[in-house]
Structures are given as C-alpha cells and as structure tokens.
Amino acid sequence: MAISYARVPEGYIDTLEHKRHKGKMVERAPENIIAVSFETDRTMDRERFLATLSSLAERVLRLKGHINFGEGPHYCEVVYDRIYEKPELTGPSSKTAFTIIAYQTDKDELTEMFERTFESS
C-alpha cells in the first residue's frame, strides 16, 4: 500500500480493528519521554542539525516540522534513525517550526543542543 503525505487509500480506515489488551490503561507518557518545540525565523545549519541528531542516536523517537536550512523551509520528519525531507509545498513562510520527542534525556539539554544548530544572526 502506498502512502504519500498522510494520504491513505479510500476504505483503509474501515479495515482497522481496535483490540483491547489486558492490563491497566496508560494515562500519560512515561516520565523519561519529553517533547521540545521550536518556532523561529532563524535558519538552521544542516550539518550541525544532522550531527545533533547523530549524537542523540536512539534517544530521538520523533521529530516533525518545517526547517529552513537557508534555501526556504523543508518538511522534515525523523522517525528513530530515518530522516525524511521534502521541499515545502504550502507557501512563502520562511519560519522554522518543529517538535522533537525524545527519551532518557534532559529537556534543557535537548533544547540547548538544538539551539546550537541555528545559524548566528
């Protein structure tokens, strides 16, 4: 089945089946999972961005958003060790805006690591 930009074949949702599992329902994410969001007009240095992701390795669960590497924003998605990138299709905004979800790391440390990936003003 081919999926593109969150498009799924017609009728696919009808094929999904919800199954209950034994055990207590999870009410919130575990303490060691954190999310940090960024929104800025600054551009990001691609090499520093990739180096930061590499240094975090398996601690990155997900990153999703729009990142301007200097040639306009690109849709960027990271799922574990896979990085997907596509040119932005929606308009002229040059903002960088993304959220990263990680585990077993400090929120302030994660914020600082990504702050260092932005180009100097």
In CATH, what number is assigned to the domain containing residue 77?
Answer: 3.30.1220.10
50-59 long-range Cβ contacts below 8 angstroms, 24+ apart: 50/83, 52/113, 52/114, 52/116, 52/117, 53/78, 53/83, 55/113, 56/102, 56/105, 56/110, 56/113, 57/81, 59/102, 59/103, 59/104, 59/105
Give domain status of residue 24, yes or no.
Answer: no
Mean pLDDT of the chain: 84
Residue 55 has pLDDT above 90, yes or no: yes
For position 90, what pLDDT does the model report?
A: 63
Give domain status of residue 36, yes or no.
Answer: yes
Domains: count for the chain:
1
Give domain status of residue 25, yes or no.
Answer: no
Give domain status of residue 49, yes or no.
Answer: yes
Give domain status of residue 59, yes or no.
Answer: yes
What does the alpha-carbon distance between residue 77 and residue 103 come to, in Å, rounded to a whole number?
17
For position 73, what pLDDT does the model report?
A: 85
